Amino acid sequence: MKSRAAVLWGVGQEWKIEEIDVDPPKAGELIVNWKAAGMCHSDEHLVTGDMVPPKEFWPLMGLEDFFPILGGHEGAGVVVEVGPGVTSVAVGDHVSASFIPSCGRCKPCSTGHQNLCDNGAKTFIGGMITDDTHRHHINGKPVTLMAKVGTFSEFACVSEMSVIKVDDDLPLECVALVSCGVATGWGSAVSRAGVAAGDTVVVVGIGGIGINAVQGAKMAGAARVIAVDPLEFKREKAMEMGATHTYASMEEAFPAVQQMTWGVMADKVIMTPSVMYGDLMAGAQQLCTKGGTIVVTAVAPMAQTESSVNLFDLAMSNKEIKGTIFGSLTPRADIPKLLGLYREGQLKLDELIT
């Protein structure tokens, strides 16, 4: 099968539209006609190199070359062909991509942590999850799929572990958004931060993930949802999606949060900037109250190993710092759940498309 796809050939290059060959599915695999894809900042992290492993690590990962890579991990489409043994979806089904695969059998999956499925370790390794061989080629050269879904292609061969069936009446562009940005942001507030009624919550960075952390905090009952972003447009959108206050920077937000909480500060600080540089943690820690929680959601440069964390304050103020992927949600349960909230008018999705 021939397909057009957006492919990246190296760090700092532009996405190129290429014609690729897509082989038929093998056992446990299927072909999806991707109908909608989101441009998540994680795709940009490939361009800038933030999510590209250092070249010296490639041999350890079994890679001769990290590139070319077919982009896209946020998406929705229709199943057009299934391989042997596929049971959870059939031809014609509408599906959401799941950039975190879920096998249901590994320790994380079997203990309720599908977002940490062991198969996610193969995200940046070439070949299929199923057998490590390739189904996608350009002029005979193997192409790696980002997160093993490659939603920047009209057609892609993916593992059954990487798709989730959704109801046919749901707009596919909304399904695509829930497959990554919405779930990750909403879950960062509701699941990982554990926002509770009456909390003061600060969300730093109002992109596709941050705007949904705002939604999640509001839905969880936060009394104050404070959105921080240098762009006025994003601050205005944050107010539409549930924020109560907005500021252009953490430095600007600090005295305001101090005043509105009578010096108590924020119960939860959720870090969703475009790139999570280590020095941003100093501001997050200052905004966080004693016994409070800081959730780091945004992607940092892969080789970054230092962070501006005051360990004395961390210990003596009993604060905690948590990482999260996919908002610490369970893809197979929570993607349909969030789409149900959209159908009931509680979760805003159409408003996210600008």
What pLDDT score does 120 carry?
Answer: 87
Across the chain, mean pLDDT equals 95
192: which DSSP letter?
Answer: I
Q: How many domains does the chain have?
A: 2
What pLDDT score does 244 carry?
Answer: 98
What pLDDT score does 56 carry?
Answer: 83
User: Quick one: pLDDT band at residue 62, thresholds 50, 70, 90?
Assistant: confident
What pLDDT score does 108 carry?
Answer: 93
23: which DSSP letter?
Answer: P
pTM for the predicted model, two decimal places: 0.94
Say yes or no to pLDDT of 55 above 90: no
**Is residue 42 annotated as part of the catalytic site, yes or no?**
yes
Q: Which of 106, 136, 166 is the last residue of a domain?
A: 166
Catalytic residue among 103, 117, 180, 288: 180
Boundaries of domain holding 144: 2-166
User: Quick one: pLDDT band at residue 303, thresholds 50, 70, 90?
Assistant: confident
Instruction: Please state the rounded mean pLDDT for residues 155-160.
Output: 97
What pLDDT score does 148 carry?
Answer: 93
With a pLDDT cut of 70, the percent of the chain lying above it is 100
Instruction: Please state the rounded mean pLDDT for residues 89-117.
Output: 94
Can you spell out the DSSP letters for 82-132? E-TT--S--TT-EEEE-SS---S-SHHHHTT-GGG-GGGGGTTSSS-TTTS
Q: Are residues 195 and 300 in the same domain?
A: yes
CATH number of the domain enclosing 80: 3.90.180.10
| Positions of E strands within the chain | 2-8, 16-22, 29-38, 69-70, 74-82, 94-97, 136-138, 141-142, 144-145, 155-159, 163-166, 200-204, 224-228, 245-247, 266-271, 288-296, 320-323
190, 199 Cβ separation under 8 angstroms: no
Say yes or no to pLDDT of 259 above 80: yes
**Is residue 180 annotated as part of the catalytic site, yes or no?**
yes
Say yes or no to pLDDT of 40 above 90: no
In the three-class reduction of DSSP (H, G, I as helix; E, B as strand; rest coil), residue 22 is classed as strand
What pLDDT score does 18 carry?
Answer: 96
Q: Are residues 195 and 321 in the same domain?
A: yes
What pLDDT score does 300 carry?
Answer: 92
Catalytic residue among 3, 41, 42, 162: 42
Residue among 242, 244, 249, 245 at smallest CA distance from 273: 249
Q: Are residues 157 and 230 in the same domain?
A: no
CATH number of the domain enclosing 226: 3.40.50.720
Residue 275, C-beta contacts closer than 8 angstroms, at least 6 positions apart: 45, 48, 50, 298, 299, 300, 301
Q: Are residues 157 and 293 in the same domain?
A: no
Q: Going edge to edge, which strands form the sheet with 136-138?
A: 141-142, 136-138, 16-22, 2-8, 69-70, 144-145
What pLDDT score does 240 carry?
Answer: 96
Catalytic residue among 73, 94, 136, 245: 73
What pLDDT score does 322 carry?
Answer: 98
Residue 200 lies in a domain: yes
Residue 179 lies in a domain: no
Lowest mean pLDDT among 33-37, 112-116, 215-219, 258-262: 112-116
Tokens matching residue 351 = 């408003």
Instruction: Please state the rounded mean pLDDT for residues 129-148.
Output: 93
Residue 172 lies in a domain: no
Say yes or no to pLDDT of 80 above 80: yes
As a whole number of angstroms, the distance between CA 212 and CA 203 comes to 10
Query: H or E stretch including 354?
Result: none
As a whole number of angstroms, the distance between CA 188 and CA 193 comes to 6
Q: Are residues 212 and 300 in the same domain?
A: yes
As a whole number of angstroms, the distance between CA 128 and CA 149 comes to 10
Catalytic residue among 3, 41, 45, 96: 45
Chain segment 181-221, per-residue pLDDT in tens: 999 999 999 999 999 999 999 999 999 999 999 999 999 99
Residue 298, C-beta contacts closer than 8 angstroms, at least 6 positions apart: 41, 205, 209, 271, 272, 273, 274, 275, 276
Q: Are residues 200 and 135 in the same domain?
A: no
With a pLDDT cut of 90, the percent of the chain lying above it is 86
Residue 145 lies in a domain: yes
Q: Are residues 42 and 107 in the same domain?
A: yes
As a whole number of angstroms, the distance between CA 249 and CA 175 comes to 32
What pLDDT score does 61 carry?
Answer: 76
Q: Are residues 10 and 156 in the same domain?
A: yes
Residue 265 lies in a domain: yes
Catalytic residue among 40, 117, 174, 288: 40
**Is residue 137 annotated as part of the catalytic site, yes or no?**
no
